């Protein structure tokens, strides 16, 4: 596999995305006192009642709406995958299982947890980043 990715390098888009993610984490913590971890927000949207459920559904709707707005205003997503939708569904389910098993996801541990210097989040982030490095190297060199 010579060219394993066709995703263009766009540092300004990455910077803008990082700023938006950081701002959402800070705003959620300042306004509601909640941590912006998508797995916890998603789980709570299915199990909580009243206001707890409503803000979680609004947060998730905002994520979906942002993707739709990007697609409409910028004409699509410049990402191509080398696997079919079946593998993407399996991967998504595995990520969901792993985030529940690890008591949080990359956004919760890596962004919100590290910024609060949570020991659990530091360990979790080191583990999933190490796994990502190993996996990437295995895929690139096999």
* Domain, as residue range, for 118: 11-141
CB atoms near residue 129 (< 10 Å) = 12
Distance separating alpha carbons of residues 76 and 16, to the nearest angstrom: 17
Summarize pLDDT for 25-77 with one digit per residue, the tens.
899 999 999 988 888 898 899 999 999 999 999 999 998 998 899 889 888 77
Q: Give per-residue pLDDT as tens, 3-17.
A: 555 566 778 888 998
Query: Is residue 107 a part of any domain in this protein?
Result: yes
Whole-model pTM over 0.75: no
Task: Say if residues 125 and 113 touch (Cβ distance below 8 Å).
Answer: yes
In this prediction, residue 5 carries a pLDDT of: 55
- The rounded mean pLDDT for the chain is 86
Is residue 73, in this structure, part of any structural domain at all? yes
- pLDDT score of 31: 94
Report the number of distinct structural domains present in the chain: 1
- Is residue 5 one of the residues assigned to a domain? no
pLDDT of residue 1: 46
Residue-wise burial string across 53-81, b where 16 or more C-beta atoms lie within 10 A, e elsewhere: eebbbebeeeeeeeeeeeeeeeeeeeeee
Please count the helices (runs of H) and the strands (runs of E) in the chain: 7, 0
């Amino acid at each position: 596999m010579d060219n394993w990715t066709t995703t263009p390098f766009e540092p300004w888009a990455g910077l803008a995305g990082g700023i938006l993610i950081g701002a959402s984490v800070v705003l959620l913590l300042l306004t509601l006192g909640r941590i912006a971890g998508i797995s916890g927000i998603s789980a709570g949207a299915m199990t909580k009642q009243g206001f707890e459920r409503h803000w979680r559904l609004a947060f998730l709707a905002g994520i979906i709406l942002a993707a739709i707005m990007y697609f409409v205003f910028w004409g699509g997503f410049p990402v191509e995958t080398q696997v079919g939708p079946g593998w993407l569904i399996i991967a998504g389910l595995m990520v969901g299982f792993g985030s529940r098993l690890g008591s949080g996801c990359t956004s919760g541990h890596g962004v919100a947890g590290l910024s609060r210097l949570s020991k659990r989040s530091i360990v979790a982030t080191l583990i999933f980043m190490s796994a990502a490095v190993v996996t990437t190297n295995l895929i690139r060199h096999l």
